[in-house]
Amino acid sequence: MGRQKLELIFGRVLLLYQMPKAGSQTLEATLRLCGLPHRIVRLHFLSVESGQRINGFISATSPQPAWQSAAAGQMQLLTEITSALRVRKLLVACKVPLRRIEVITAVRDVLGVALSCIFQNHRLFAPQPKDLTIEKCRELLMRPKMCAQFQDWFDTELRSTIGLDVYKEPFPTERGYCQYQNALARVLLYRFEELPRLGPVLEQFLTCNVPPLVNRNLGVEKEYGKAYREVRNSITLPAHFVSTLLKGALMEHFYSKEERDILKQKWSEVGQDPSLPSTLSSTSQPA
């Protein structure tokens, strides 16, 4: 058994394990400055279902070399971490006194993360970012599987791999983060909107000093940034479609009614309701 695998099984491990486009690269760049004793691993998917989907993209008949290379790296990491977690779970079940792994995960509103992912992976959908027009993005967002993969992320991923059901207890929407634990792991879950203010929470969770955030992978700064900003600021969707998404388990659990009303106003084709608040609590949102 190699040294790296032994570290993953017996050592201190910090998994930055969260849905895409929710600040994981910013978090990784920041925490790597902290001198933590952990092996830090950042990934978005660990489940069998996700592995099968990624493999399907890798073996597509019209490959995108850069995307395929990144996806292949994710698959190698997925296999490595899954194997280590399987051994850890067995040892924990046998009462071997292992230190819990630390997991930091995040949630973001479903439409926001889906649109950001469309532009992040724009080569899968259009020849050039400019081809991702409002009409094209509207069609992509309304595909049945586009938003479902994010709606179901905590069940498909965190519960199936770490064994934690985050829906078992209410989420403090006014605070924007919560901690959980079981025999395998300690988990910090934060809302994407809280990322700019997360420093003190990270310090408490990891018992270390955390520097100011080192922003990484900001959508508005990418080569597709101009097209992304224009679509993000202008796109609207059928009200019934938006309402259905906002009534899903993820949105109802992690966002208050007032916050969901704001998002409904933002994304829906219906006219704005002056009785609704106009903004969410966050201001700076890496995406």
Instruction: Name the pLDDT band for 63 (thresholds 50, 70, 90).
Output: low
Distance from C-alpha of 9 to C-alpha of 143, rounded to nearest angstrom: 39
Asked if 157 contacts 46 with a C-beta cutoff of 8 angstroms, the reply is yes
Distance from C-alpha of 268 to C-alpha of 215, rounded to nearest angstrom: 30
Instruction: Name the pLDDT band for 279 (thresholds 50, 70, 90).
Output: very low
pLDDT higher than 80, residue 126? yes
Segment 160-170 shows an average pLDDT of 95
Segment 198-227 shows an average pLDDT of 84
Question: Quick one: pLDDT at residue 281?
Answer: 43
Structure tokens at 7: 């570290």
- List CB contacts of 251: < 8 A, sequence separation 6 or more: 109, 110, 151, 245, 260, 263
Q: Can you tell me whether residue 93 is helix, strand or coil? A: helix
Residue 183's nearest CA partner among 88, 43, 104 is 88
Residue 283's nearest CA partner among 210, 217, 207, 194 is 194
pLDDT in tens, 15-57: 999 999 999 999 999 999 999 999 999 999 898 777 777 666 6
Question: Quick one: pLDDT at residue 66?
Answer: 63
Give pairs for 204-213: CB < 8 Å, separation 24+.
Answer: 205/102, 205/104, 205/179, 206/14, 206/31, 206/34, 206/36, 206/102, 208/34, 208/35, 208/36, 209/34, 210/30, 210/31, 210/34, 211/30, 211/33, 211/34, 212/30, 213/26, 213/30, 213/286
pLDDT higher than 90, residue 5? no
pLDDT higher than 80, residue 195? yes
Distance from C-alpha of 19 to C-alpha of 44, rounded to nearest angstrom: 5
Segment 139-160 shows an average pLDDT of 94
Question: Quick one: pLDDT at residue 47?
Answer: 84
Structure tokens at 237: 């969707």
Average pLDDT, the chain: 87
Q: Can you tell me whether residue 107 is helix, strand or coil? A: strand
pLDDT higher than 90, residue 246? yes
Residue 253's nearest CA partner among 180, 188, 184, 165 is 165
Ranges of each domain in the chain: 7-113+149-216
CA 204 to chain centre: 21
pLDDT higher than 60, residue 272? no
pLDDT higher than 90, residue 115? yes
Structure tokens at 140: 């992509």
Residue 91's nearest CA partner among 212, 202, 147, 8 is 8
